[in-house]
Amino acid sequence: MNIVILAAGMGKRMRSRLPKVLQPLADKPMLEHVIEKARLLGSNNRLIVVIGHGAEAVKAYFEKDEDITFALQAEQLGTGHALLQALPYCDQSEPTLVLLGDVPLIRPETLKNLVQAAGSGVGLLTVRLDNPRGYGRIVRQDGAVCAIVEEKDATDEQRAINEVNTGIMVLPTRYLERWLNELGNENAQGEYYLTDVIARAVSEAVAVNSATAQTATEVEGVNNKVQLAALERAYQKDNALRLMNDGVTLIDPDRIDVRGELVCGKDVTIDVGCIFSGKVVLGDGVRVGAYCVLKDVEIGEETEILPFCHFDGAQVGKEARLGPYSRLRPGTTLADQTHIGNFVEIKKSVVGLGSKVNHLSYIGDTDMGARVNIGAGTITCNYDGVNKFRTTILDDAFIGSDTQLVAPVTVGKGATLGAGTTLTKNAPDGELTIARARQMTIKGWKRPTKNK
């Protein structure tokens, strides 16, 4: 079939410079959610997106998606006019499913039901809402749909109807050329309404079948930031329920945000206020403390993350202990049983088995072996203002506190660096290397006193 997504509207009510359909829900444009749902209906459908307001930005965002055909609606004259712009790209012998770029949470199962209900006629997806305000109302006679009336054009009696148009419908494509070209715009908004084709179908005795959506959230349209936030919460709550049903312990399902994919093993516990984005994989028994932000990370079994950590692009082994207040930046790999403590930043580095960086340190561009102990306040000086250099720390090295390792430099196997060392040359295996002024005591020295 043809799947046409209407996404040309400007979304005045968003009061934003960003086109409405690019407004993000869970970190992803609403339109991308809709496109993903459309793709789940099968790969041999034609996917056409009608763009207009902010067309360049929308096109640029989906530049790499070769399965999308864009139809331009230069002037936004209404949903009927929008569909007309897509018609040249549609296969006349197949039905056309119309989706809206601002109805992001629609479920593929619901769409499949609708397509089935439509048969060779029109299929209309409706829903009953406690508060139908803003939506087109479904007008029925003796149970059969006879028209859709927009809120702004409705009589008081029609406004009381609580069955509404979700905007999602299946249409027999062969009639559209005629139906859409003959739409009028004599209505409250001066627009060519797609919804008017329903009365037209009825008048031509083309069957109009309806299907209902199971939940209100999946057909909720987003016209302003309030609705966007409400839908975001609904989406997050759904995610949270799914995680809990899979056995994840969420201390509070109302205080977790998954903006991407979160894959959890058995007996994972997540405390409040955590945000997961990109793809995050948590192994069996992982515990995530409160207020952690994790993006594109993989955490091994039984690792514990204490509160307030920020990880991005890192891989962590088993039984590690991280945080509180640790930062892992892209290109970081921590082996099993590592300990990373408070106010430690690690970037593009490998930390070997059982090594510890417990306090106030910066480790960048470093290859660290196993069982290394890094004292508090250690800094790898990896940057001379132009180039970056690597630091190598071999197995069992012990780095005293407040040490600077001026890269490129290597600390040998089992080497010890005295506290306060500024290391500019390699430190040999097994020896104590120290670079600091010798301590002395001046005997009999007196503090100055004030002259009275």
Size of interface with ligand UD1, in residues (CB under 6 A) = 30
101 belongs to the binding site for Ca ion (CB under 5 A): no
Q: Please select the residue that binds ligand UD1; options are 2, 49, 68, 81, rule is CB under 6 A.
A: 81
Shortest CB 144 distance to ligand UD1, Å: 18
Judged by CB under 5 A, does residue 341 bind Ca ion? no
Verify binding: residue 126, ligand UD1, rule CB under 6 A: no
The nearer residue to ligand UD1, 106 or 280, going by C-beta atoms, is 106
List binders of ligand UD1 among 301-360 (CB under 6 A): none
- Interaction partner, residue 165 (ligand UD1, Ca ion, none; CB < 5-8 Å by kind): ligand UD1
> By CB under 6 A, is residue 77 in contact with ligand UD1?
yes
Does position 167 interact with ligand UD1 (CB under 6 A)? The reply is: yes
359 catalytic, yes or no?
Answer: yes
Contact call for residue 392 and ligand UD1 (CB under 6 A):
no
- Output the smallest distance, CB 320 to Ca ion, in A: 47
The 3-class SS string of the chain reads CEEEEECCCCCHHHCCCCCHHHCEECCEEHHHHHHHHHHCCCCCCEEEEEEECEHHHHHHHCCCCCCEEEEECCCCCCHHHHHHHHHHHCCCCCCEEEEECCCCCCCHHHHHHHHHHHCCCEEEEEEECCCCCCCCEEEEECCEEEEEECHHHCCHHHHCCCEEEEEEEEECHHHHHHHHHCCCCCCCCCCCCHHHHHHHHHHCCCCEEEEECCCCHHHCCCCCHHHHHHHHHHHHHHHHHHHHHCCCEECCCCCEEEEEEEEECCCCEECCCEEEEEEEEECCCCEECCCCEEEEEEECCCCEECCCCEEEEEEECCCCEECCCEEECCCEEECCCCEEEEEEEEECCEECCCCEEEEEEEEECEEECCCCEECCCCEEECECCCCECCEEECCCCEECCCCEEECCEEECCCCEECCCCEECCCECCCCEECCCCCCCCCCCCCCCCCCC
Among ligand UD1, Ca ion, none, what binds residue 164 when CB lies within 5 to 8 Å by partner kind?
ligand UD1
Q: Which residue is nearest to Ca ion (CB)?
A: 221
Site string for ligand UD1, 188-227 (x = CB under 6 A): -----xxx-------------------------x-x----
Question: Counting contacts by CB under 6 A, is residue 7 touching ligand UD1?
Answer: yes
189/249 with CB nearer ligand UD1 = 189
The footprint of Ca ion (CB under 5 A) covers 102, 221, 223
Q: Give the catalytic positions in this structure.
A: 359
The footprint of ligand UD1 (CB under 6 A) covers 6-9, 50, 52, 73, 76-79, 81-82, 100-103, 135-136, 148, 150, 164-167, 193-195, 221, 223
